[in-house]
Amino acid sequence: MNTILICRDCDTVYRAIPLGPGDVALCRRCDAVLARYFSANAESGLALVCAAAIFFAIANLTPILSIDIAGIETRANVWFAVRSLQQGWISVAAFGLAFTTFLVPALQIALLFWVLLFARAGHRPPGFGPIMKLLHWMRPWSMTEVFLLGALVAIVKLANWVPIVAGAGIWAIAALTIVLALLGRCDPESWWSIAPAVKT
């Protein structure tokens, strides 16, 4: 067990105390979160990851927005948005969009599923170290919630102009945002603590 905590933002050293459910330890000098109560409960984590995977699939398989003019329907979701940016060198923006709204969330879900599946069985998953590092570096680049807001803005923007409707995908994106936020709250740093608990 890690008995010494060091603040990420101001480098102050603390001796860790046991936390109860819902407790958050804050730095006394700069108010950064030092630690949250964390039970290595792979079961509930795994349930959330499965929910995230389902919502992610729905969001990418059903239209998020669609326009129906005289029986001709145009649909849009994350991939259609990415494809519309693939024009000449504007494609760098397409890459940025694909990375932040598709690749990163997909990898987060897949890697967390892998880690938690093994953790539930009491094993240290193969590639645990690199996976945790990857999850740590990817965290700031997951932009599902920004995509949700963007879709809402697009609805309002186009509504005066064309008959636009929101599809099932928008609800899936909203649900995915919530589930990913819940998973993100148990930050990767605390996931590390399950590593010594389980055998290699």
Partner 1 sequence: MTAFKQSLELGLIRCRTCGLAVSYVSLRMDRRCPRCHSRIEHRTPLSTEMTLALLIAGIVFYIPANLLPVMHTSGLLGEADSTILGGIFEFWRAGDWDIALLIFIASVAVPFTKFIAIGLLLLTVRKNSRWQQHQRTVLYRIVEFIGYWSMLDVIVVALTSALMQFQVLGTAAPRPGIAFFCAVVVVTMLSALSFDPRLIWDRRT
Residues making contact with partner 1 (CB under 8 A): 2, 4-6, 8-13, 28-32, 64-67, 69-70, 74, 76, 80-85, 87, 89-90, 92-94, 96-97, 100-101, 129, 132-133, 136, 140-141, 143, 146-147, 149-151, 153-154, 156-158, 160-162, 164, 188-189, 192, 195
Question: Is residue 37 a contact partner of residue 20, using CB atoms and an 8 Å limit?
Answer: yes
From the CA atom positions of the chain, what is the Rg in Å? 20
Task: Compute the distance between CA of residue 200 and CA of residue 198 in angstroms, rounded to an integer.
Answer: 7
Amino acid, res. 146: V
43/88 with CB nearer partner 1: 88
Residue closer to partner 1, measured from CB, 55 or 147: 147
83 or 123, CB closer to partner 1?
83
Nearer to partner 1, 4 or 20 (CB): 4
Cα–Cα separations (whole angstroms), residue 13 to 2, 10, 91: 13, 9, 46
CB of 45 to partner 1, least distance (A): 18
The separation between CA 53 and the C-alpha centre of its own chain, rounded to angstroms, equals: 11
Phi, psi (5° rounding) for residue 27?
A: -70, 135
Token pair, residue 175, equals 């649900």
C-beta closer to partner 1: residue 50 or 66: 66
Minimum distance, C-beta of residue 62 to partner 1, in the bound complex (Å): 15
* DSSP category for residue 199: B
- The CB-of-99 to partner 1 minimum distance in angstroms stands at 9
Q: What minimum distance in Å lies between the beta carbon of 76 and partner 1?
A: 4
If we measure between CA atoms, which residue out of 114, 155, 153, 156 comes closest to residue 131?
114
Q: Give the nearest distance from C-beta 50 to partner 1 in angstroms.
A: 26
